[in-house]
Structure formats: C-alpha cells, structure tokens
Structure 1
Amino acid sequence: MAEIRNCPRCGEFFNYTGFNDVCYKCAKEEEELYQIVYRFLRKRENRAATVDRIVEATGVDRELLFKWVRKGRLHPAVFPNLGYPCDNCGRLTKKGRLCERCTEELKSDLRAFEAAKEFRENIKKHERNTYLADREKINKD
C-alpha cells in the first residue's frame, strides 16, 4: 500500500511505494544526473576519480553520489575511489555503515566489555563471605 509523503528534494507530495524516496519529477532529474556521472566514470582516465573530482566535473551533489554508492548503483569495486561517509566518523567507506577503523574500534570495545562482564561474574561466583571484626573491640581486650 502506498503512502503519501513529501519529497525531500522539492517538497511536493508523492505516493511512496518503497521504491523511490523522492517524487517522480525528482527521480527523473536524479536519473539524468546519474547518467552524466556514469558517462564521466566510464572514461578510462576518470575511473579512479575521487568524490571531489566527480562533484567538480559533473556538478552533481555529493550526497546524491553517496546515495548511489550506498544503493549499489555505483560500485567501489569498479571505481576504487568511491565510497560514502561512515556513520560514526565521516571517513569514506565502501560497505556497511561504519568504516573499518570504527568497526575494529567497536569490536575492541565489545571484547573489553565482555571481558569485564565475565570478570565481574567470576568474582561473584568465587566471592566468599567475609566477616569483619570490630577493631576497637579487639584492641580493648
């Protein structure tokens, strides 16, 4: 079932069906821009172009370029300097939501958390009941 949404680019209402996240008019404009970018990248000398170079040469918005890479329309395997920003640090990544550095940092933090959790559980398991004597009472005797 389609739902009515506002187009994030132009603000017009459109029927959102889950396929396009923009209205028909904006989708058509995006497709024309995509074709410009793709023709630019197909040239042998432009295949290794960076995001900044592509934006400069084609005039396409960098967020739109990131959207195409994220959706798999432009493949970093074919165009090695393409990517999209990591959700954590903003560094370019080619897959997932986090770059390799943030992924490794997160894994390391999780390992440390699990080790600390295991340590606390072991302490609780091996904890002995300790009775403290009243030192003042002992010293008086």
Structure 2
Amino acid sequence: MGELKNCPSCGEFFNYTGLREVCNNCAMNEEKLYEVVYRFLRKRENRAATVERIVEVTGVEESLLHKWVRKGRLQPAMFPNLGYPCDNCGKLTIQGKLCKGCTEEFKSGLRQLDAALEFREKVNTHENTYHKQK
C-alpha cells in the first residue's frame, strides 16, 4: 500500500509506492527525455560530452542527468564526463555522496580526532598513576 504524495515535478497527487519519486505522467516524460539523452550519448563523438553540453544539446535539466547517474542509468565508465554533485562541496563525483577530496578531508579529520582522544586518554591515565617516593 502506498501513500499519497505531491509530485515534486508537477505538483499533482500520486500514489507513492517507493518505486518512483514522481507521478506516472512525469515518469513517462522522464523516460522520453532519457531516451533523447541516451541516443545523443550513444554516438561515438558525444560520449565524452560534459553535463553542460548535454543540457545545451538535449534541453534536459541538469538535475535529471545527475539523478540518472546517481541511480546508475548512465554509467560514468561509458561516459567519462558524467557525474553528480558532492553533497558537501558540489564538485562532480561518480560514487557515494562525497567526492574524493571531501572523503579524504573527513578521513583526515577523523584521524586527528582519534589521535587527540588517544592523547587525552594517555594524559588521564598518567595523571591517575601515583609514584611512591623513596
């Protein structure tokens, strides 16, 4: 059983079952646009097209291209200049929610935090150690 939602594209009510994020009419329209994009990208000379170029030629919204790459419908392995924005900085990425730079930055921050916590733990244990003087 689904729930009643507003379509984010057109605003109409539709029965959301978890399969599609948009109503049937918008889903059919997205499929038509996907076919336009895919036909454009299948041509050898267009495989390295950037997101901006694809939008310019096909008229498809950039957000739809990002959505298709994120869902795996357009494979960056086949079309190397495709991607979707990193949730942190907006730079294009092809997997996960963060680009490589942001991932490394977060990992570095976690390593620093771990080192600081380890140091604090050593200091706390050292303060609780009593030495008997002779």
Which TM-score applies when normalising by structure 2?
Answer: 0.95
Q: Does 1:98 align with 2:95?
A: no
Residues 29-68 of structure 1 mapped to structure 2, 5 A cutoff: 29-68=29-68
Alpha-carbon distance, 1:67 to partner = 0.4
Q: Deviations over 1:48-101 (max 9, x none)?
A: 000000000100000011000000000001100000000000000000000000
Alpha-carbon distance, 1:128 to partner = 4.8
User: In the alignment, what sits opposite 1:3?
Assistant: 3
Residues 59-78 of structure 1 mapped to structure 2, 5 A cutoff: 59-78=59-78
Residue 2 of structure 2 aligns with an amino acid whose one-letter code is A
User: In the alignment, what sits opposite 1:85?
Assistant: 85
Q: Does 1:110 align with 2:110?
A: yes
User: In the alignment, what sits opposite 1:26?
Assistant: 26
5+ residue gaps, structure 2 = none
CA distance in 2, matches of 1:128, 1:83: 53
Residue 68 of structure 1 aligns with an amino acid whose one-letter code is W
CA distance in 1, matches of 2:28, 2:4: 19
> C-alpha root-mean-square deviation of aligned residues, in Å?
1.1
User: Which contiguous aligned blocks of 4+ residues in structure 1 show a shift greater than 4 angstroms?
Assistant: none
CA distance in 2, matches of 1:72, 1:48: 17
Identical counterparts, % of pairs: 68
CA distance in 2, matches of 1:97, 1:64: 16
Which TM-score applies when normalising by structure 1?
Answer: 0.90
Larger Rg: 1
DSSP 3-state at the match of 1:88: coil
CA distance in 2, matches of 1:128, 1:104: 36
Which one is further off, 98-107 or 121-130?
A: 121-130
